[in-house]
């Protein structure tokens, strides 16, 4: 029987900030599935591995190298890894996957650093591609979910049906165990820790979200029995705190939540989740607390019913007010995310959103209220609206590398720098305690926090040098990394 060859799966750094480190289920899920079907897998996670590790893996001449990326800063680092692989061995196929290649498959395939694209959920597609490559096949039209090159011609095969979520292996079995153990060892240095997926997809249709395209509004929730089995395995590995990666925790199904909350309490986990505010009530807030929840994320987006309807949020101001009232009665650290700069948004609507941040802080003291400029993500419903209003999309893969809240300049925004200033200001003002108070040094960030509170109160963004400090760090990181090491000495 022919022995299956090695497959390397790589996850480039998705953020310039060291606190954004979480276990990369995007590649671990694929790897566990490949291992289940007999392939050997090695991982590279740029947050915990040195580039030398990736170079050594490439030198092992794997059957293929899988590269996962989102539409953001991560693209730049993924391209860097692809360049390294091409330089060491140009014959190894480079297979790209993740949300960005899925939504922009044809453009991604135009890059010389891309040989294949796995569109959407990738486990079975990557397995079939690996089997075909191992058998030296040159024609791949029968593999659903695959994009490939037939000579100079780009071919996009039919989409693939979703897998049965009950049949998927736990990502931390096999070689994934090494990753989870390393993250446990480093858990004192990171706020996000071990990720766990109890569902895939989201039942809601928010116009700015990737879900509508990527998961096609199909939401699959694991059975309580499967979640129990997997959480027990995580506990046995030594996991005590984790983040639910679900786009919406258990799809907002209260009955499912109540069952899982009892299980989390029984197993004594500390955990974080993203919850729909219109599904929250007094019973759930107490259950969340009792079961070990240490942080809740709510996507509020706007206080304006017209805006909420336009973005198809599926909730209204009355629901939001009720949810804030409930959440504020508990003592679980809470984040309420707001969105500005949407297509067609008026200045009056934006100012109402800013004022609503103050209202949230009054009603729920200590809550985090980040305010993010809208980013037109390809494949989303609002992306088409953005194009109609003159948004110029990047013309190649590399052009998307700085596609983030603080750098995108939408043509309908009169003063893009103002939105970027608000974004940075809300972070320094409202997220200081969680991310910066004990990070590096109060001496460095304390004065910026004080200034940010003053700026927010007076809505004064003149001479906003903080933005340039932020962008300088984001693009280099070297100064602040050196400063961190100096302070720790």
Residue range 278-319, pLDDT digits in tens: 888 888 999 999 999 999 999 999 999 999 999 999 999 999
pLDDT at 468: 81
Q: What distances in angstroms separate CA 153 from CA 104, 148, 397, one per listed residue?
A: 16, 8, 17
pLDDT at 404: 80
The rounded distance, in Å, linking the Cα atoms of 280 and 293 is 14
Report how many domains make up the chain. Answer: 1
Domain contains 249: yes
Q: How many CB atoms lie within 10 A of CB 455?
A: 21
Give the confidence band of 487 by pLDDT, cuts at 50, 70, 90.
very low
The rounded distance, in Å, linking the Cα atoms of 157 and 429 is 48
The rounded distance, in Å, linking the Cα atoms of 434 and 188 is 14
Residue range of the domain that includes 200:
193-374
CATH number of the structural domain spanning residue 276: 3.80.30.20
What 3-state DSSP class applies to 116?
Answer: strand
pLDDT at 59: 97
Average pLDDT over the chain reads 89
Domain contains 220: yes
Give the confidence band of 197 by pLDDT, cuts at 50, 70, 90.
very high
Tens digit of each residue's pLDDT (9 = 90 or more) over 148-182: 999 989 999 999 999 999 999 999 989 999 999 98
Domain contains 399: no
pLDDT at 445: 79
pLDDT at 432: 81
For the cut 80, the answer to whether the pLDDT of residue 440 exceeds it is: no
Residue in this structure with the two tokens 């679900």, named with its chain if needed: 246
pLDDT at 479: 45
The rounded distance, in Å, linking the Cα atoms of 27 and 40 is 14
The DSSP 8-state label assigned to residue 371 in this structure reads E
pLDDT at 229: 95
CA 76 distance to own-chain centroid: 16
CA 178 distance to own-chain centroid: 22
Pairing between strand 153-156 and 146-150?
A: antiparallel
pLDDT at 256: 86
Q: Which residues make beta-bridge pairs with 154?
A: 149
Which H or E run contains 220?
strand 220-221
How large is the angle between the packed helices 442-458 and 465-475, nearest 10 degrees? 130
Domain contains 258: yes
Domain contains 35: no
Domain contains 118: no
Domain contains 296: yes
For the cut 60, the answer to whether the pLDDT of residue 36 exceeds it is: yes
The DSSP 8-state label assigned to residue 250 in this structure reads G
pLDDT at 120: 94
Residue in this structure with the two tokens 């799966």, named with its chain if needed: 9
Tens digit of each residue's pLDDT (9 = 90 or more) over 222-233: 999 999 999 999
Tens digit of each residue's pLDDT (9 = 90 or more) over 90-141: 999 999 999 999 999 999 999 999 999 999 999 999 999 999 999 999 999 9
The rounded distance, in Å, linking the Cα atoms of 168 and 224 is 15
Domain contains 298: yes
Percent of the chain whose predicted confidence (pLDDT) is above 90: 70
């Amino acid at each position: 029987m022919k022995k299956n060859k090695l497959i390397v799966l790589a996850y480039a750094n998705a953020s310039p900030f060291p606190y954004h480190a979480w276990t990369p289920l995007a590649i671990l899920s694929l790897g566990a599935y490949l291992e289940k079907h007999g392939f050997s897998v090695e991982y590279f996670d740029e947050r915990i591995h040195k580039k030398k590790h990736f170079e050594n893996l490439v030198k092992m001449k794997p059957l293929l190298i899988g590269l996962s990326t989102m539409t953001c800063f991560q693209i730049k680092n993924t391209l860097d890894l692809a360049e390294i692989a091409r330089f060491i061995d140009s014959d190894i196929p480079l297979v790209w996957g993740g949300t960005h290649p899925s939504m922009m498959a044809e453009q991604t395939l135009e890059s010389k650093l891309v040989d294949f694209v796995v569109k959407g959920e990738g486990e079975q597609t990557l397995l079939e591609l690996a089997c075909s490559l191992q058998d030296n096949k040159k024609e791949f039209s029968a593999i659903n979910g695959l994009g490939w090159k037939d000579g100079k011609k780009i071919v996009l095969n039919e989409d693939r049906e979703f897998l049965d979520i009950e049949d998927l292996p736990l990502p931390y079995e096999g070689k994934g165990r090494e990753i989870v153990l390393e993250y446990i060892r480093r858990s004192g240095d990171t706020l996000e820790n071990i990720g766990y997926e109890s569902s895939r997809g989201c039942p809601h249709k928010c116009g700015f979200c990737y879900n509508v395209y990527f998961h096609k509004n199909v939401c699959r929730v694991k059975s309580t029995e499967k979640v129990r089995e997997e959480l027990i395995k995580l506990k046995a590995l030594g996991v005590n705190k984790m983040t639910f990666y679900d786009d919406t925790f258990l799809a907002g199904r209260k009955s499912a939540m109540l069952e899982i909350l009892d299980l989390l309490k029984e197993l004594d986990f500390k955990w974080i989740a993203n919850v729909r505010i219109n599904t929250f009530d007094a019973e759930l807030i107490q259950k969340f607390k009792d079961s070990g929840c240490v942080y809740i994320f709510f996507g509020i987006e706007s206080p304006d019913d017209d805006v909420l309807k336009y973005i198809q949020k599926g909730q209204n101001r009355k629901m939001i007010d009720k949810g804030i009232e409930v959440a504020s009665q508990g003592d679980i650290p809470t984040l309420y995310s707001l969105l500005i700069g949407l297509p067609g948004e008026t200045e009056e609507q934006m100012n109402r959103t800013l004022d609503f941040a103050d209202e949230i802080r009054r009603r729920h003291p200590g809550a985090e209220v980040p305010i993010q400029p809208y980013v037109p993500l390809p494949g989303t419903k609002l992306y088409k609206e953005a194009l109609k209003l003159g948004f110029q999309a990047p013309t190649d893969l590399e052009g998307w590398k700085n596609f983030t809240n603080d750098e995108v300049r939408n043509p309908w925004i009169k003063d893009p720098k103002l939105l970027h200033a608000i974004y940075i200001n809300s972070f320094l003002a409202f997220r200081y305690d969680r991310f910066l108070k004990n990070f590096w040094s109060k001496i460095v960030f304390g004065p910026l926090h004080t200034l940010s509170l003053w700026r927010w109160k007076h809505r004064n963004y003149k001479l906003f040098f903080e933005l340039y400090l932020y962008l300088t760090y984001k693009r280099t990181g070297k100064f602040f990394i050196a400063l961190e090491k100096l302070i720790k000495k």
